[in-house]
Amino acid sequence: MKKVLLTKDVKNLIAGQNNFLNRTDITVVTASTNAEVLKIHREERVDLIVTQLETPGIKSEKIFALIRNNEKLRGVSTIIICNDTLAHRERCKQCRANAVFTTPVDTALLLIKMQHLLNVAPRMNYRAALAVAIQGKFKNRPLPFWTENISASGMLIKAKEPLSKGDGIFFSFFLPDGTHVSGYGEITRINRPGLEQDSFLDGIKFTSIDPDVQSAIDAVVKKE
């Protein structure tokens, strides 16, 4: 069982999203102030805290200093949401967060990062067992996209923005058996489906991936 602590503003931000937090193996608790964040974590020993830098009450820097300096509390992963200013970024550094998101927040990427920090594999649709959300780099910023099919040598992805042939891309996702896959690849072919004008299909060839991971992918593909 994984425990996630969200502050009230973060919970409202992702409310209504179709996300992994609704699973029976995930427990979500909510706090309205930083004092509550600390109190709940002390009592529950949560696995992940997702909060706003400007959460009411005690300053976030003090709360996370207490957490990081406590042997029993420091193991938690943290994500902090802040304004895109130098002052806020410096404050987040003091909080020693695992990840920082600036407003406006891309909730799809936030949920992907939460899954990664929790090491929770997305549940697969039976007819599309390999259609998992993955995260790449597009023009030096994250781009969410989905696998249409996959093999040990590459994969076909669907994205909302066009990529270019020859683009390098970093990928990170989970296989249906929970194996975490990450590495680098290259766009080798591009195609725009005629019926879906707002999405693009791109073929990726793996250029840097662990051989054991390739074997795991091959095993899953053969099983499916």
Q: Token pair for residue 202?
A: 């791109």
Looking at the structure of the chain, the number of domains it has is 2
The pLDDT score that the predictor gives to residue 137 is 52
Kindly indicate the confidence band of residue 25, based on its pLDDT and cuts at 50, 70 and 90. confident
Q: Which long-range contacts (CB under 8 A, 24 or more apart) does 146-152 make?
A: 147/173, 148/201, 150/217, 150/221, 151/217, 151/218, 151/221, 152/206, 152/214, 152/215, 152/217, 152/218, 152/221
Instruction: Indicate the SS3 state at residue 39.
Output: helix
Which domain covers residue 161, as residue numbers?
Answer: 133-223
Q: Are strands 154-159 and 200-208 parallel, antiparallel or unpaired?
A: antiparallel
- The answer to whether position 83 is within a domain reads yes
Last residue of a domain, which of 91, 118, 145?
Answer: 118
Per-residue pLDDT tens for 134-143? 455 555 556 6
Instruction: Indicate the SS3 state at residue 223.
Output: helix
Average pLDDT, the chain: 80
What CATH code is carried by the domain that includes residue 13?
A: 3.40.50.2300
- The answer to whether position 92 is within a domain reads yes
Q: Does residue 99 surpass a pLDDT of 50? A: yes
Kindly indicate the confidence band of residue 178, based on its pLDDT and cuts at 50, 70 and 90. low
What's the order of all strands across the beta sheet hosting 154-159? Answer: 133-138, 141-150, 154-159, 200-208, 180-191, 168-174
Q: Does residue 6 surpass a pLDDT of 60? A: yes
Are the beta carbons of 202 and 187 closer than 8 angstroms?
Answer: yes
- The answer to whether position 127 is within a domain reads no
What CATH code is carried by the domain that includes residue 191?
A: 2.40.10.220
Kindly indicate the confidence band of residue 125, based on its pLDDT and cuts at 50, 70 and 90. very low
* Low-confidence winner among 96-110, 176-190, 203-217 (lowest mean pLDDT): 176-190
Same domain, 93 and 12: yes
Cα gap 105→144, rounded to integer Å: 13
Same domain, 24 and 83: yes
Of 62 and 177, more confident: 62
Say what the alpha-carbon torsion angle 35, 3, 15, 135 is, to the nearest 10 degrees. 120
The pLDDT score that the predictor gives to residue 45 is 96
- The answer to whether position 11 is within a domain reads yes
* Low-confidence winner among 7-11, 55-59, 90-94, 198-202 (lowest mean pLDDT): 198-202
Q: In which residue are the tokens 């080798």 written? A: 188
Per-residue pLDDT tens for 34-44? 999 999 999 99
Kindly indicate the confidence band of residue 78, based on its pLDDT and cuts at 50, 70 and 90. very high
Which residues lie below 8 Å from residue 61, measured CB to CB, with a gap of 6+?
91, 94, 95
Residues in the chain: 224
Q: Residue range 150-179: average pLDDT?
A: 76
Q: Does residue 124 surpass a pLDDT of 50? A: no
Rounded to two decimals, what is the model's pTM? 0.59
